[in-house]
Chains A and B, each alone.
Chain A
Amino acid sequence: AQSVAQPEDQVNVAEGNPLTVKCTYSVSGNPYLFWYVQYPNRGLQFLLKYITGDNLVKGSYGFEAEFNKSQTSFHLKKPSALVSDSALYFCAVRDSSGGSYIPTFGRGTSLIVHP
């Protein structure tokens, strides 16, 4: 079975500071990992994904995520936060084995960037 956890309901950061939104996962095989962002009154938008290869994945809007197999984590990061980054962020995982083609989403983390 596959599962994903976002341990923080909310993350607060000052504009210009680095930000991290945490995600941990559990799978039987290898993980396929995704980050999505949801701005107010909008649908989810894809940010980045990890399939294989380099552990540091770069995505849209200056975001990146680091895959750590030993810690089963895929944390979302940005070196310098903007107020416009304030949104709801979802991590999703799909197991490469077990026959499930459908990703599981986390509960979401609300990122608030203060001016």
Chain B
Amino acid sequence: EAQVTQNPRYLITVTGKKLTVTCSQNMNHEYMSWYRQDPGLGLRQIYYSMNVEVTDKGDVPEGYKVSRKEKRNFPLILESPSPNQTSLYFCASSLSVRGGTGIVEQYFGPGTRLTVT
């Protein structure tokens, strides 16, 4: 089954304790992205990756890191989480976003609800 998986689904942690949220897709997609969803603010992009070893900042990258060492995986790293990073996080992927073949929809993971106390 084609899917995007995220782990963990729920996480409660304390300020300053490093954490990683994993994201994996089995569709051989080039493009992957991380979003956070907050009430009243909708979906905001954190980081994205056009392909392996190519990452770039989205709209709200502060406090986050990513890496893309393999095509299927795109982990989100919070080196020193703070309470303002409490949010619902989504990973997404698509075949490509470039050129005429890139006008494709994204596939989203089920979400990770993070609480930082």
Contact = CB atoms under 8 A, between A and B. Distances in A.
Interface of A: 6, 9, 32, 34, 36, 41-46, 49, 51, 90, 94, 101-103, 105-108
Contact of A43 (B4, B48, B50, B98): B4
A31 to B, nearest CB: 11
Interface of B: 4, 33, 35, 40-45, 48, 50, 58, 90, 92, 97-98, 102-103, 105-111
Contacts of B33: 102
A42 B4 CA distance: 12
A42 B108 CA distance: 9
Contacts of A42: 110-111
Given A102-B97, A105-B43, A106-B42, A43 B90 contact: yes
A21 B38 CA distance: 20
A43 B43 contact: no
Nearest to B98: A101
A51 B40 CA distance: 28
A32 B97 CA distance: 12
B98 A49 contact: no
Nearest to A109: B42
Nearest to B113: A41
Given A43-B4, A51-B103, A102 B108 contact: no
Contact of A108 (B4, B43, B108): B43
Contacts of A101: 50, 97-98, 102
A34 B108 CA distance: 14
Given A101-B98, A102-B48, A107 B42 contact: yes
6 contacts: A42-B110, A43-B108, A43-B110, A46-B105, A51-B103, A102-B45
